[in-house]
Chains A and B, each alone.
Chain A
Amino acid sequence: MRAMKVGALGVLLAAMIAGSHAMTARGATAPAGPTLPAGPALKAVQTNCQICHSIDMVTTQRLSKATWEVEVTKMMKFGSPLPKADKETVVAYLAKYLAPGVPRYPVAQATAPPITHTSADH
């Protein structure tokens, strides 16, 4: 199932980035994701959105094109390096494949983090 492949890829990419930020999920099941066709737009999403958050912050949304436009604009203001020239393509892609009506998925689960009072192991 393509959705699962994208979901697994998403969690691996997120884990790679999370590792550098020392926030790897322990014992996590993969976030479930919808079918996102491969191509330049998906690559742009994966490259530019996952600096600050994992891919599930994107794939769990179901937004209109107008709302995707607002969100992508906000993220570019926040510092996403998405090139201006790619913005319209990315907004159209997200609005097509992550629109209201696209099925949503059960929540993934992960082992609760340990209780600690220092930043030593994070």
Chain B
Amino acid sequence: MAGKWSRGGFIAGASVAALGAAARGASAAPMMDMINQRPYDWGTPLEELGTKLYTPNRVFFIRSHMGPPGHIDMKTWRISINGMVKKPIEVTLDDLKRMPKHEVSAVLQCAGNGRYWYGDAFPEASHPAGAQWRYGAVGNARWVGVRVRDVLASVGVDPKATFAKIYGLDNPLLPTTPKMIRGLDIHKVMDEDTIFAYEMNGEPIPYYHGYPVRLVVPGWAGDFWVKWFSNMTLQDHNTTNFWTAVGYRYPDKLGKPGVGVPPNKEHPVTVMNVKSIITSPLSKAGFKAGEAAVIQGLAWSGDGAYAKSVEISTDGGKSWRPAQLGELPDKYSWRSFSYRWTPDAKGAATIIARATDSKGAVQPKASPWNPGGYLWNGVQSVDVEVS
């Protein structure tokens, strides 16, 4: 069944709790959901997502494999393009900024966003291992940079190249831990909206989000959006790196919940699927019979599709009514939805949102269990009490 939202902020240990309260009072800085303290796996709380078209950089979710690089010296910083090319090049940030700009509004979502809910949907099975994200490993931003294909135009890519091996400046703490390297299909490399981004929501990419350049791969899951981008090697095969050949894979054929699948019977997770989240209401109280209330949230989909409609149920899924949709600035963007509800009776009610995308895909009650816990897009429900 759908995941139930629960309010965060669990406090354990008086001294630590007091420290938290003091820090909040002193800085009035926004709070984030701390899925893993270190390296940062911090999600955006639903209250912060609200119905904002663009997620503020300050609370934009952070997913880390290795943590940020220790130091970036901009005097010597370059990105490298090499491998199956006629002329390997190195490009400075100034070089990039002199090239034609391209802007895209796109949802960035961790492939494992919602992994936590597999544990609710399949309680008897082994939960998928990994960061236990609930809703907040997602955000929408305006990304500005240079098309990757414009940069590649000057290097003479060998037509036999099928993949780009890509990585950033971040390194594991231990030499035995595989570096986070991704293999990106050449068709997506050459897509008109795949960019080397140097701006996020109108400011330079923040350090935690990949300063100075992050690869932006709209419509595809976040593991391709390499932060602190440094290298692209064109080659005629996909990388055998752990994070591509073993991690971030989805079964070719779904098996029994809780049971692992060998990597050679899986394929890389790429395109995101249709999804919506309810960002208001988030608590049971506040509803009165005969008084109008607003149900709101955000909806999106993956490569080549966008959220076309959102339906709301206030009776636990027995009946559905269309929500009003907000602006859609780009096919890769999310959009807000809003539904005015006047409860006619006192008592418990369950609100559910269900999105349908432009290709006709509809959010399921629960996504099928898979070993990595990827691509959760089951509908969200919120229990409320009408007084």
Contacts and interface: CB of A to CB of B under 8 A. Distances in A.
The answer to whether A and B assemble together is: yes
B29 interface: yes
Contact of B38 (A18, A26, A109, A115): A18
Contacts of A25: 34, 37-38
A118 B35 contact: no
B59 A112 contact: yes
Contacts of A53: 36, 38-39
B134 to A, nearest CB: 7
Nearest to A120: B71
Contact of A30 (B7, B12, B68, B125): B12
Contact of A71 (B22, B43, B129): B129
> Main SS of the interface on chain B?
loop
A51 B38 CA distance: 10
Interface residues of B, number: 70
A79 B66 CA distance: 14
B94 to A, nearest CB: 16
B13 A4 contact: yes
Contact of A112 (B32, B68, B178, B203): B32
Interface in B212-244: 212
Interface centre among A30, A70, A100, A106 (most CB of B within 10 A): A30
A44 interface: no
B37 A110 contact: yes
A60 B132 contact: yes
Nearest to A107: B8
B67 A112 contact: no
Nearest to A65: B126
Contacts of B43: 107
A112 B58 contact: yes
Specify the main secondary structure of chain A where it touches its partner: loop
Contacts of A117: 204-207, 211-212
B172 interface: yes
Contact of A66 (B16, B71, B123, B126): B126
A24 B44 CA distance: 19
A109 B12 CA distance: 11
Interface string B1-33: 000001111111100110110111001011111
Nearest to A67: B126
Interface in A92-122: 100-101, 104-119, 122
17 contacts: A4-B12, A21-B173, A30-B11, A52-B172, A52-B177, A62-B126, A100-B119, A100-B124, A107-B9, A107-B35, A109-B8, A109-B31, A111-B20, A112-B30, A112-B42, A117-B211, A118-B211
Interface of A: 3-5, 7-8, 11-12, 14, 17-18, 21, 23, 25-33, 51-54, 56-57, 60-64, 66-67, 70-71, 77-79, 100-101, 104-119, 122
- 3 A-B pairs with the lowest CB-CB distances in the bound complex, closest first: A27-B23, A8-B13, A79-B176
Given A28-B37, A60-B35, A112-B32, 10 more contacts: A8-B12, A29-B17, A53-B38, A100-B125, A104-B119, A106-B8, A108-B9, A109-B9, A111-B27, A119-B69
